[in-house]
Chains A and B, each alone.
Chain A
């Protein structure tokens, strides 16, 4: 394909412009982090901080027990997430029902979201882990791991229910009118028209909640579940070295960054979709 001289010149200029921009970005980054690094490492307390927080020996030493604990965090998250999704969706759907027979269920759903959204997650973890075993109920798990996990499910379920409810309310009212006009029942309208659109709208905020859930699995450590933070604290208390905390932090970052990026990506994509689909 032949290209005119003007276009060739334009391409040359664009290439040199982007080269210059890349150089500037690199330079700025090196200078910025160099200055920050210099400021930190030249501070008076740095040698002590370096020894207690960034000690390679302690990092290696503590790693096996921290990573083992981190396995629990990951398992908790993987088990809790689907359960929370189902619970949240169920509560949101119940709140949207109209039938008179379901009135008591609606009351329960409203109470549930109001109460459990108001209680700090860490407090719920304490209440479940310490309170439930004291009840001595048969058939109820007594392992701290499961009790802490249930506390997180209950706490996040209330949030996710509200996210779903917002998603349901964001569906254009004409969609509901159209479904009704076609003779759909309330349940059919919900299932075929409202929910599919609501779910699509709430994917980014839901992922956001899950990033926060991943981190909050560390709350289980507060009642003695041997997850990553607890393992790190165990090591730190014993060896007077805080490096395992930094190791734990790095592990959590490594876990949440992919999800956070996915959230951004989906958020942008759904925004684009909404902008291009205006004249529906």
Chain B
């Protein structure tokens, strides 16, 4: 059974082919890591899944529905996914708590009390309960990313999309973010994430995809792709980042 599948997905900007015939499947409770050099198309792939970009060809199915059909309202799809970007996620003009409760209230029409309870639960869990009333710019980068994660989780998404959520953080803050992600993975949260953290991919991923110039050159369990890659390109990439 698959929750998300991409078949023959293509995307280009102008003449530049950014995704070239991408096939990918994510089953419930999978943690799929996208790795690859800068510019290989990881962010573009995630943005296509979230319908922030239109694919040029191919099909993306989510829970059995073709979400690339123009008749599908992107909002109904996005409501069932959570997404966290590399930086500038939080709305700077609202408190941390409001950042988390806004979408449940106006998109999912959850009541105020219920959305607050859920938000406090998540903040508490991420060790940020005392920051509920703070403004985002009063938090460290690591705390901001955890709030962004709490916000993405508030509406209990079926799929979590994470785009290098640790790469804008100082090294000492990366660990706390990864610890939270490990926890979520252990709980069975389905995730598709772009990352440069090979240690995390090795320990947590159910499957690793190596992207090179818009193509998935190699995919499989981390024990294979990261340890004994078949492709020379993968080997070169891993030598550079490890």
Contact = CB atoms under 8 A, between A and B. Distances in A.
A197 interface: yes
A188 B155 CA distance: 17
Interface of A: 172, 174-175, 177-185, 188, 192-193, 196-197, 200, 276-277, 279-280
Contacts, number: 76
Given A177-B52, A280-B136, A182 B103 contact: yes
Given A183-B107, A184-B106, A197-B92, A279 B85 contact: no
**Dominant SS at the A interface?**
helix
B141 interface: yes
Nearest to A195: B93
B151 A280 contact: no
5 contacts: A181-B161, A182-B152, A280-B88, A280-B92, A280-B144
A184 B137 contact: no
Interface of B: 47, 50, 52, 74-75, 78-79, 81-83, 85, 87-93, 102-103, 106-108, 136-137, 141, 144, 148, 151-152, 155, 161, 168
Contacts of B108: 183
Nearest to B91: A193
A181 B78 contact: yes
Nearest to A279: B141
A188 B75 CA distance: 12
A188 B85 CA distance: 20
Contacts of B102: 182, 192
A242 B206 CA distance: 87
A181 B155 CA distance: 12
B87 A183 contact: no
A172 B88 CA distance: 8
Nearest to A193: B91
Contacts of B107: 182-184, 188
Given A177-B52, A180-B52, A185-B75, 16 more contacts: A172-B88, A175-B88, A178-B91, A181-B78, A181-B81, A181-B83, A181-B161, A182-B107, A183-B107, A183-B155, A184-B107, A192-B91, A197-B92, A279-B144, A280-B137, A280-B144
